[in-house]
Structure 1
């Protein structure tokens, strides 16, 4: 599986990024994948490679590039709860500085770069993301309704996007929520907003999961949750792309 480390030109500099794609000389649909707050690291590279193996060009940008290349902080091989708390404290100021204006500007640059890669087929693309990356993916899909045909977000605070943002989405959508992140009442409220916006979506709580369940390098990892994630993501991409 070919992989590359790339630099994406943006209005504020160059964002480092990881890309994986099939080694068959063909052009494949593009997928923009947003990492969680811990950023690009071995588990994200492995997930990108796995998704690429199903026939996609997968681009994972470092959305904290304004502060330096990934990884911005030293990450342990396994992020336990104590390490997670300390890391979040260091990363929170960067998350707070990543304004909606920056998200939109970066999304323009990421999609422009993705769709002009020689390995990427013409046509619509997908965006997917984890944790805060799921919120970035949601905002990206809303800002590019004619270009993004599929949106998937996992254990992500997608409700923070707000009804006005959700109403702009024309992509087919799947939201996979951690049981610890969302009450059934909050899920109903989110789904009512999606219904009101006439979004083509599935939105469900994954039973027995906690925030971060897709990430195998954390205490939150849930193998059944990760399998369910692939079982939802891959059919969505096949339908939309």
Structure 2
């Protein structure tokens, strides 16, 4: 595994300053950039570990605290291990924060994150990759549709509300997307029922988007997050295999 350097950084946005974590190979060379969108539990050691693993595979990875308007991470106090008993109380506090992040605000922030990466010495020139988890999968999809010329690939895992009846559902941007997409859906996930999975796939197909969606049988919503009771090691390793394959062929191969 490549030696990795990780550090905290601040990113100026239209509405303030977002704290973030940056990880990259410790070799002094620029590497393809990946913007990693957090789940609702936010920027914490688990996501830093995921960024480090991606960096070890040869990428420069930025993980912003998308809830920065409510404070620096952790925005709410989290237990070391998030079990089902703690989730209702946590979401009582996180729900209003999550709902306050409007699509317009999130995409204004995305512009700032992408611009910061474009100027980052550790990041190679050219379009970036995206990966997102839970709510972050929707942010990745929305970013790919909002900034198509700046995104080469986007992945989402155990995503939530990706193809709803809302007039601001992220799947409605399908006809603007030029990136290659991959989705790893949790089986029987109440945040993304089967009809939404079908609707998402049909919308992307109709728009001619290169994409693949897979349902991870038996996996719960949150299956990639090792600090939660939803974690599934087998499904998580499948996620890493799919994610790295997507990034390698869209970011590394394009620069070869």
> Do the two structures share a fold, i.e. TM-score over 0.5?
yes
- Give a deviation string over 1:174-228, Cα, whole Å, max 9, x none: 0110002244444222211110011100011111101000001111000011011
User: Within the alignment, does 1:47 sit opposite 2:75 as a pair?
Assistant: no
Q: Is the 8 A contact 2:18 2:65 kept in 1?
A: yes
Taking the aligned partners of 2:117 and 2:170, their CA distance within structure 1 comes to 27
Q: Cα distance, 1:114 vs. partner? A: 1.1
Q: Once superposed, what is the RMSD of the aligned Cα atoms?
A: 1.1
185, 188, 199: which one aligns with 1:177: 185
Q: Provide the residue aligned with 2:105 in structure 1.
A: 102
10, 13, 17: which one aligns with 1:10: 13
TM-score, scaled to structure 2: 0.92
Q: What are the within-5 Å matches in structure 2 for residues 115-134 of structure 1?
A: 115-134=118-137
User: Within the alignment, does 1:198 sit opposite 2:202 as a pair?
Assistant: no
Q: Provide the residue aligned with 2:173 in structure 1.
A: 165
Q: Is the 8 A contact 2:142 2:170 kept in 1?
A: no
Q: Provide the residue aligned with 2:59 in structure 1.
A: 56
Q: Provide the residue aligned with 1:111 in structure 2.
A: 114
Q: Provide the residue aligned with 2:254 in structure 1.
A: none
TM-score, scaled to structure 1: 0.97
Q: Provide the residue aligned with 1:70 in structure 2.
A: 73
Taking the aligned partners of 1:232 and 1:191, their CA distance within structure 2 comes to 17
User: Within the alignment, does 1:218 sit opposite 2:228 as a pair?
Assistant: yes
Q: Is the 8 A contact 2:133 2:158 kept in 1?
A: yes
Taking the aligned partners of 1:206 and 1:104, their CA distance within structure 2 comes to 29
User: Within the alignment, does 1:143 sit opposite 2:151 as a pair?
Assistant: no
Taking the aligned partners of 2:218 and 2:52, their CA distance within structure 1 comes to 27
Taking the aligned partners of 2:35 and 2:73, their CA distance within structure 1 comes to 17
In structure 2, the CA distance between the partners of 1:98 and 1:231, relative to structure 1 (3 Å rule), is: same
Query: Which deviates more from structure 2 when the two are superposed, residues 228-237 or residues 165-174?
Result: 165-174
Taking the aligned partners of 2:171 and 2:217, their CA distance within structure 1 comes to 25
